[in-house]
Amino acid sequence: MELRALGTTATVAVTRGAAREIARALLRVELDAVDRACSRFRPDSEVWTLAAASGTPVRVSELLFEALAVACRAAHHTGGAVDPTVGAAVVALGYDRDFASVARTGPALDSPARPAPGWWQVALDPATRTVRVPAGVLLDLGATAKALAADRAAGVIAGEIGGGVLVGLGGDVAVAGDAPGEGWAVGIATDAATPRTAATRTVAVRHGGVASSSTAVRAWRRGDRTIHHIVDPRTGEAAGAHWRLVSVAAASCVDANAASTAAIVWGPSAVERLEALHLPSRLVRHDGAVVTVAGWPAEPGPASPLRCSTPGDHVPT
Partner 1 sequence: MPMPVSLSRTPGRDPRAAAIGRVRRMSRWVTAVATAGTAIVAAAVAHQLPGHSHPAAAATAPASATGGSDAGAAPGAATGSPPSTSGTTTPPSTGAAGAGGLTPPSTAPAPIARTPTVVSGGTSW
Q: Cβ(96)–Cβ(102) under 8 Å?
A: yes
CB of 36 to partner 1, least distance (A): 8
Q: Cβ(161)–Cβ(22) under 8 Å?
A: yes
Which residue among 87, 115, 117, 142 contacts partner 1 (CB under 8 A)?
Answer: 142
Q: Which helix (H) or strand (E) holds 166?
A: strand 164-169
Site for partner 1 in 204-243 (CB under 8 A): 204-218, 229-230
CB of 32 to partner 1, least distance (A): 7
DSSP code of residue 28 = H
Choice between 84 and 110, CB closer to partner 1: 84
* 122-132 as b/e: b if 16+ CB within 10 A: bebeeeeeebb
Choice between 276 and 312, CB closer to partner 1: 276
For position 271 contacting partner 1 by CB under 8 A, the verdict is: no
State how far the Cα of 248 lies from the Cα of 59, in Å rounded to an integer. 34
> What is the end-to-end Cα distance of the chain in Å, rounded?
27
Which residue among 220, 252, 290, 291 contacts partner 1 (CB under 8 A)?
Answer: 252
For position 56 contacting partner 1 by CB under 8 A, the verdict is: yes
Which residue among 86, 88, 258, 283 contacts partner 1 (CB under 8 A)?
Answer: 258
For position 65 contacting partner 1 by CB under 8 A, the verdict is: yes
CB of 241 to partner 1, least distance (A): 12
State how far the Cα of 15 lies from the Cα of 68, in Å rounded to an integer. 32
Which residue among 94, 109, 113, 191 contacts partner 1 (CB under 8 A)?
Answer: 191
